[in-house]
Amino acid sequence: MTQEKQGSGKMTKASLIAVILILLAAIITLLILILLKRDSGQSQPPAAPAANGGILTYDSTVVLDDPETLQKLVDEMVRKAEEGTMTLEMQVDAVSGDGITFSCYLANALENNYDMFLTLYLDETQEEIYRTGLIPLGGRIETFSLEKALEKGSHSCTLVFNQVEEDLQTIHAQVNVGLNLIVN
């Protein structure tokens, strides 16, 4: 009889351990499902209100392109973005002794894809005070002259690099940078 009690005691312990393991597995599975559901909800952008005041949801009939097609689209966007970049070669200070003729290195870098012209605005008045003609790739300006003299001192300006497409009329891209005009 002692052996029967010991045997049934071992069975009870084994059954208890099995039940505990099954409960732990169920709890872990439930937690994983809850976390996955919550994470999948976070990866979607927040819903925007619809025109009728309701909440927009994703259309279940939408067909997505295959990964290869999506990669081609991304590659094309990167190519277009690279085409639109502009390498700037310039000095940030232009110096003059007379307030009219300034020495300053301003260039259309060889890495660029388009010819450009530069426009210079006096920050104080927003007045355009200088405009170049077209500068081809690899071209540079080392001096430029204003039509009216600036007083002695430092003058803050905005220099606009304007890339022009092949039709010589369409602005492809613009970049604004600061340029100091220093009259000694």
- Say if residue 97's pLDDT is above 90: yes
Mean pLDDT over residues 107-123, rounded? Answer: 93
- Say if residue 153's pLDDT is above 60: yes
Mean pLDDT over residues 70-78, rounded? Answer: 76
DSSP 112-176: -SSEEEEEEEETTTTEEEEE---B-TT-EEEEEE-SSPPPSEEEEEEEEEEEE-TTSSSEEEEEE
Mean pLDDT over residues 145-173, rounded? Answer: 93
**131 band by pLDDT with thresholds 50, 70 and 90:** very high
> Over the stretch 44-72, which tens digit does the pLDDT of each residue have?
555 455 555 567 777 777 776 677 777 77
**24 band by pLDDT with thresholds 50, 70 and 90:** confident
Bin 95: left if φ > 0, else alpha if -120 < ψ < 50, else beta: beta
**28 band by pLDDT with thresholds 50, 70 and 90:** confident
Question: Taking CA 29 as the corner, what is the angle to CA 28 and CA 32, rounded to the nearest 5 degrees?
Answer: 85
pLDDT of 8: 52
Sorted by sequence, the CB contacts under 8 Å of residue 26 that are 6+ apart come out as none
Question: φ and ψ at 119, to 5 degrees?
Answer: -125, 135
Of residues 10 and 179, the one with the higher pLDDT is 179
pLDDT of 72: 79
- Count of beta carbons in the 10 Å neighbourhood of residue 54: 9
- Single pTM value for the model: 0.57
pLDDT of 26: 77
**121 band by pLDDT with thresholds 50, 70 and 90:** very high
Mean pLDDT over residues 72-93, rounded? Answer: 79
Rg (CA), the chain: 35
Percent of the chain predicted with pLDDT > 90: 45
Least confident of 18-22, 90-94, 123-127: 18-22
β-strand partners of 93: 180
